[in-house]
Copies of this chain bind each other. A is one copy, B any other.
Amino acid sequence: MKNLESTMLTFKGKAYPCCASLTMGLIGGKWKTAILFHLMNEKLRYNELRKLMPTVTERTLSLQLKALEEDGLVKRKVYTSKPPLKVEYSLTDFGKTLIPLIQSIANWGDFVVENYS
């Protein structure tokens, strides 16, 4: 019998018990998919994201963006070097591989609202 670690999947230093858990480790939580959903088709600035997600607090938005950045899904680009006047968030190439999945997640949510409520 193998030990547990050998059956675990790892990514960025974290271990996950199965491939589905790994995905959820990266996009799970209350806000991450919402952010990714909004970034799917366009780059957005911090305050533009806030307006699209009026119920998230600034701190939480900030933390989630940072987490997505650390996992390599989102990139943060600062314009006008010295003071950060303009910051644009967008999907990285790696993040773009998630687009079909995010779309499916959004579609299933729509489907539920239409058919089960």
Contacts and interface: CB of A to CB of B under 8 A. Distances in A.
Interface of A: 4, 9-11, 16-34, 36-37, 53-56, 72, 94, 97-98, 100-102, 104-113, 116-117
Contacts of A34: 17-18, 20-21
Contact of A94 (B25, B102, B105, B116): B116
Contact of A105 (B17, B23, B111): B23
B105 A101 contact: yes
B33 A113 contact: no
A29 B24 contact: yes
Contact of A37 (B11, B20, B55, B108): B20
Contact of A104 (B18, B94, B101, B106): B101
A19 B113 contact: yes
B109 A21 contact: yes
A33 B33 CA distance: 15
